[in-house]
Every structure is written in C-alpha cells, then in structure tokens.
Structure 1
Amino acid sequence: MRKILTLGCLLGGLALADAAAAHGNIACEVPRAERRPMVELQKELKKQGWTVRKLQMMNGCYEVYGYDANGNRVEAFFHPKTFERLREN
C-alpha cells in the first residue's frame, strides 16, 4: 500500500511539473499592491473586440483564454501591472 501511495504522489508531481513547463519561462514578479485588477484587463480586451472565456493568474502573470477580435482562439499572457501582452501559445 505504501509503495502505491508513493508512486501515486510521484506521478502526480511529474504531471504538475509537466503542466508548468508547458508555459515555458513566463513569470511576472509584481507585488500584489502594484497589480491592476483582472476585471480591468477583461474590460480592456472586450473594448478591443475580444471574448474572454477564462482569466487566471499563472506564474504571477495574467493568462487569458478566449477569442481575439478576428475570432481566433487564443491563449495569451499579460503583465499584471502594464497589461502588456507577453506571449501567446
């Protein structure tokens, strides 16, 4: 039983490490007090014609899943202080 539990924990850890590696070296180190609210980014993207399906924090950056103004599906990263677009997968 102990071996099965250890193996399960090891495999779970590898799965999490693989998911983190999928986003490469994207990381934003911005103090919480300096971050602009996610809802501001969502409103700004909506003005640009985007449809935001999901918005979350990933490695300190804002990660957006949705559709751009041309209807293309996107996964994009934004700096939480400047809203500068960092990378798209």
Structure 2
Amino acid sequence: MRVLFFTTLTLLSTAVFAGPQCTDIDKSKWLDQAKFQEDLKAKGYEIKVFKVTDGNCYEIYGWDKDKKKVEIYFDPVTGKTVKEEIEE
C-alpha cells in the first residue's frame, strides 16, 4: 500500500510540474534567443528568468507592460504564446 501511495504521488507531482510541449522542430529553425528576448523587452516585458524547457519551449518569468507578474511559455519557432499565467 505504501509503495502505491508513493508511486501515485510521484506521478501526480510530475504531471503538476510538467510544462507544455511546444515543438519537435530542430533547434536550428528556432528563433534566436537573444533577439527573441529583445523583442519581448521592446513590447514592455521585464524578464527575470529566461530558459528553454524540457518541452522545447522558451519560458519567461517576469512582468508584463502593466507590471503584472507573468510566467509565459512560447513556441520557439513561431514566437506565439503557448501557455500564460498572469498574477492578478
């Protein structure tokens, strides 16, 4: 019973923390990371953390132009938002 509990807990925690899957396209076709960040800053974003996720997304933690805290996943090929969380 105890093993079942920990197995279930592990599976649930993995699902909770897993981000979206953005692309399976080769990284050579991705938008340049530095240019992409500069474009976001030009749109009013303040980036605290920028990273590439296990799901092949560009992810930022920071603030939008309205100074609301955001966590956003972007498709690194198109630059489109895949998932967005905004703190109200």
Aligned CA distance change for structure 1 residues 47 and 74 (closer, same or farther; 3 Å): same
The residue aligned with 1:83 is 79
CA distance in 1, matches of 2:50, 2:25: 17
Instruction: Give the paired residue count.
Output: 77
2:28 is the alignment partner of 1:33: yes
User: Max radius of gyration: which structure?
Assistant: 1
Gaps of 5+ in 2: 1-5
**Cα-Cα RMSD:** 2.3
2:24 aligned with 1:57: no
Identify, as 1 or 2, the structure richer in helix: 1
Higher relative contact order, structure no. (Cα contacts within 8 Å, ≥ 6 residues apart): 2
Which segments of 5 or more consecutive residues in structure 1 lack a partner in the other structure? 1-9
For residues 52 and 86 of structure 1, what CA distance do their matches in structure 2 show? 17
Identity of aligned residues (%): 24
Query: Quick one: which amino acid aligns to residue 84 of structure 2?
Result: E
CA distance in 2 between partners of 1:30 and 1:21 (Å): 25
- TM, length-normalised to structure 1: 0.73
Q: Is the 8 A contact 1:50 1:67 kept in 2?
A: yes
Structure 1 residues 29 and 21: CA distance shift in structure 2, 3 A: farther
Runs of at least 4 residues off by over 2 Å: 17-24
